Chains A and B, each alone.
Chain A
């Protein structure tokens, strides 16, 4: 394998948790809810995922448990922001902090337990394609899940009626309500989907990427996912570009350091952020403005009775 292939391979794995979490949050925000608690849901997914995997001995069960844990956290957030119409920013921040703390408790008995990570699954025939094959089609199942999520969410949002309703709730919840759509129900489902994705991203970290548990292991990836959604101007394909760009720049700067590129390492370390922002802003410029955020983003909705 050439160095270039090795780098691409690493870039894809490094970007996958960001992409999965960002796609989930993108759907949530499209429905008009701002959930800042991605980090908390993600780390709960990581903790519960590895806890379940170690207890049952099954990675598949671990992944399922992680998804459910993310959804449970999201349900808690939904209870506060949709049920009680509390401030979404405050509730989201609280969720992030709560998740970090609770995951430490959940994971405590599993500190130091060693476990085999989930391996790669080569897709027959496709993985034999020169160059593209080993990079794209000999990855772990989460990578394929991320590809599928981008395509699926893009199709759902812009090609289905349900997706149109979801976007309508995000753009103007009063009008959507007047048209007879159940705004809160739609938002609740969107928030649950976001939680499931964040949980899945967490499971990727604790079951594939660095297969062990330590508290705080998400190390801010949930916040990066949030930023990617905004810079992608709420479009799934741009989120994919943003996530791979960010992951790519992160890995490349490590390679640049290792190869002894004569630039200050502090500057190199800042590169992922600079490049991602720059490229996504450029895309927005070229497309003349792109999409502004959903108009009802972050506003609580209380249907009149």
Chain B
């Protein structure tokens, strides 16, 4: 037998058929992934790639995956259509920047299951998923208030979207729970990924007296800069960034999409897929906090206690009373923001002296 592409495909098909049980012999499910950044960004896209690998590891021959990385939003339609054409039946689109386009192509391709990482609405064949990263932000706020001597947190932000705004609010909620005098400075880098500018933003914040840096951008540059400056601390984003700043790193929020991808692919395989709206917290395993470093045992155990309370649901970061920056009340004490209200947050809390762009 000559080694041609057709023969390899035949061989692969035979293997797949042999592995599946005779009763439900079926072709492997093709799963597509569209990533906003390069696989090697150490952050958001890297972790989606690891999720894909995990899915292949667990489901083996029953799935195949096609991944397209660094897809700019204007190219999205073309890439998505191409994935559909080449047989993908379940497609994960992993950025909020793709959400509207995903809604559109989902309507045009009703036989394909779509999953958008962060989004605001589901459809018959479109599910949305995200993690409650704000729980990690609350812990960051608590730690920052303990570590900061200047009582000022520096926040390297990307864009003023609700996900970032409610994260800033929650960091301060956590910080105020320790010390009501805590202040925050924010610099908008205008990018999810631009290492040089992220580092410049962190420099500006540190030069103006911030000594704990939170980042809502994807590269390790701000954390690394904290390391260089010394006596400044920082948090990693999306993946465990301890190695970039052994003396400055406090903890990282580490994303884990693998289990979700396994469950969703399995649901398509056995026909139980539903257009769900998943927003997993610390308890769901969709993200975890990397081991606490550069902290005293007391600080670390406090952080652990807060983390566990958030996971258990006994501590809720969006408990009332909540008041807007300008003094307008949002909810009184005893109430709690709904998920939709959190997802739509477009105001800073009272006490944050940063202007909304």
Task: Write the residues of chain A forming the contact surface with B, with a CB cutoff of 8 angstroms.
Answer: 3, 6-7, 10, 14, 104, 107-108, 111-112, 114, 117, 205, 209-217, 219, 221, 250-251, 254-255, 257-260, 262, 264-266, 269
A14 to B185, CA, bound (A): 21
Query: Is there an interface contact between A214 and B40, defined as CB atoms closer than 8 Å?
Result: yes
CB-defined contacts of B205 to chain A, threshold 8 Å: 258
- Whether the Cβ atoms of B224 and A219 lie closer than 8 Å is no
Contact B357 A258 (CB under 8 A): no
The distance in angstroms between the C-alpha atoms of A107 and B195, with both chains bound, is 15
**Would you call B207 and A209 a contact (CB within 8 A)?**
no
Closest B-chain residue to A110, C-beta based?
Answer: B40
Cβ–Cβ contact A255 & B243, under 8 A = no
Nearest first, the 7 closest Cβ-Cβ pairs linking A and B are: A111-B40, A254-B204, A265-B357, A215-B38, A210-B195, A6-B207, A219-B194
CB B216 to nearest CB in A, in angstroms, measures: 14
List of A residues within 8 angstroms of B203 by Cβ: 10, 251, 254
**Cross-chain contact B38 with A255 (CB below 8 angstroms):** no
In the complex, A6→B209 CA distance in Å? 12
Q: What are 23 A-B contacts defined by CB distance under 8 Å? A: A3-B207, A10-B207, A104-B40, A111-B42, A205-B196, A209-B196, A210-B196, A210-B221, A211-B224, A214-B38, A214-B219, A215-B40, A215-B41, A217-B196, A217-B219, A219-B193, A219-B197, A251-B200, A254-B200, A254-B203, A255-B204, A258-B185, A262-B355
> What's the least CB distance linking A6 to chain B, in Å?
4
* A91 to B246 Cα, complex, angstroms: 44
Shortest C-beta distance, A211 to chain B (Å), equals 7
Could you tell me if A212 and B244 are in contact, using CB atoms closer than 8 angstroms? yes
The smallest beta-carbon distance between B148 and chain A, in angstroms, is: 15
Q: Cβ of A217: which chain B residues have Cβ within 8 Å of it?
A: 195-196, 219
| Chain A nearest CB, measured from B239 CB (Å) | 9
Known: A3-B207, A257-B186, A257-B187. Contact between A216 and B196, CB under 8 A?
no
Q: Which of A216, A254, A269 has the most CB of B within 10 A?
A: A254
Residue pairs across A and B with CB atoms within 8 Å: the count is 106
Give the secondary structure class of B's interface. Answer: mixed
New A-B contacts (14) at CB < 8 Å, excluding given A219-B194, A269-B188: A6-B207, A10-B200, A117-B228, A211-B224, A212-B244, A213-B40, A215-B38, A251-B204, A254-B200, A255-B208, A257-B188, A258-B185, A265-B357, A266-B357
Whether the Cβ atoms of A108 and B154 lie closer than 8 Å is: no
**Known: A117-B228, A216-B70, A254-B200. Is A265-B194 also a contact (CB below 8 A)?**
no
Q: Given A212-B224, A214-B219, A260-B353, decide whether A219 and B207 contact each other with a Cβ distance below 8 A.
A: no
Question: B residues touching A (Cβ–Cβ < 8 Å)?
Answer: 38, 40-42, 70, 154, 160, 185-188, 190-191, 193-201, 203-205, 207-208, 210, 219-221, 224-225, 228, 243-244, 353-355, 357
A210 pairs with B40, CB closer than 8 A: no
Flag if A114 contacts B196 (CB, 8 Å): no
A264 pairs with B357, CB closer than 8 A = yes
Assembly CA distance A143 to B243 (angstroms): 28
Partner of A255, one of B190, B193, B207: B207
Also in contact, A254 and B187, with CB within 8 A (given A111-B40, A209-B196): yes
Residues on A with C-beta less than 8 A from B353 are: 260
Minimal beta-carbon separation of B125 from chain A (angstroms): 33
Residues of chain A contacted by B208 (CB below 8 angstroms):
3, 255, 258-259
Are A104 and B187 in contact, with the CB atoms below 8 A?
Answer: no
* Bound form: Cα–Cα A211–B196 in Å: 10
Q: Which chain A residues lie closer than 8 Å to B210 at the CB level? A: 258
Contacts of A269 in B (CB 8 A): 188, 190
Whether the Cβ atoms of B42 and A214 lie closer than 8 Å is yes
A271 smallest CB distance to B (angstroms): 12
With A104-B40, A117-B228, A266-B357 in contact, do A254 and B70 touch (Cβ < 8 Å)? no
Among A104, A205, A258, chain B packs the most CB atoms within 10 A around the CB of A258
Distance of A10 Cα from B203 Cα, bound (Å): 8
Q: Among the listed B201, B219, B355, which residue makes an inter-chain contact with A254, where contact means beta carbons less than 8 Å apart?
A: B201
A205 — which chain B residues lie within 8 A by C-beta?
195-196
Chain A CB count within 10 A is highest, among B185, B188, B210, for: B188
Question: In the assembly, what is the distance between CA of A14 and CA of B203, in Å?
Answer: 11
- B204 touching A112, Cβ below 8 Å: no
Chain A residues, CB < 8 A from B196: 14, 205, 209-210, 217, 219, 221
